[in-house]
Amino acid sequence: MKIDVLTIFPEFFGQVFDFGIIRRAKQAGIIDISVHDIRAFAVDKHKMTDDRPFGGGDGMVMKPEPIFAAVEHLAGTTCREEYVAGTRVILFSPQGSPLKQSLVRELAEGTRHLVMICGRYEGVDERVNDALVTDEVSIGDYVLSGGEPAAVVMADAVIRLMPGALGSETSAENDSFSNGLLDWPHYTRPAEFRGMKVPDVLLNGNHAEIENWRRKMALDKTKKNRPDLLKGEKGDM
């Protein structure tokens, strides 16, 4: 997968993609990530990327011209309907649809070229959304200073689901949200720490009992922390 990030602060990303799973995926040739400065595509001599909003109001709005030029440079067109198959252009904004594991998996399995636009200020000129964007995405019900942290979140979430990115091919299958539930509790050595013991079921070697315990614990944790996820969930809670 080719991943292109559009931002006015390319320095933000520095070495952020040079650690852990993302670094291994890059080294293995699973992904290719590039960060692009939107200012490089500005059309005026001052390299302006923002201007005052029509109709008045606080703040500034990111201009359409540099973003259109950047997407055309990367995707070969500024017509969403003409993108090469497997191309997705993401705009991060508080008005976007929530980022969920279902979208992450969809992107990991069906995308060849992922372009991520990092908004700033009061937002991005809506014509960018109208003509270029395939997905407007929010990573939560809060407002960030810009889309850069969201781009890192999405990149990490998508890359770890790509074949070969994780050490174990079944690891991602048991993640929180992958089966509609949160993950179960995990334990490692020592079996007892400061008077707190690992549940006996995890030490008895009975895989059927362990699976039943994990299922119950996943249900219990989901019921406690995210009861909204249990709508339509079948089974004993």
**All residues at 6 or more sequence positions from 140 whose CB lies less than 8 Å from its CB, including other chains:** 98
The active-site residue, picked from 65, 156, 175, 183, is 175
- Edge to edge, the sheet with strand 87-98 lists 32-37, 2-7, 113-118, 87-98, 135-138
Q: Specify whether 160 is catalytic.
A: yes
Strand partners, 116: 5, 90
- How many Cβ atoms sit within 10 Å of the Cβ of residue 45? 6
- Per the rule left: phi > 0, alpha: psi between -120 and 50, beta: everything else, 90 is beta
Q: Which of 122, 156, 183, 220 is catalytic?
A: 122
Catalytic residue among 53, 65, 94, 220: 94
- Pick the closest to residue 216 from 228, 199, 193 (CA basis): 199
Q: Please, how many CA atoms are within 13 Å of residue 209, restricted to the half-sphere of its CB?
A: 8
Please confirm, yes or no, whether 175 is among the known catalytic residues: yes
Helix (H, G, I), strand (E, B) or coil at 148: helix
> What's the CA gap between 150 and 116, in Å, rounded?
9
User: Partners of 216 in the beta sheet?
Assistant: none
- 8 Å CB contact between 30 and 158: no
Cα torsion angle, 65, 72, 5, 93, sign: positive
Residues taking part in catalysis? 94, 122, 160, 175
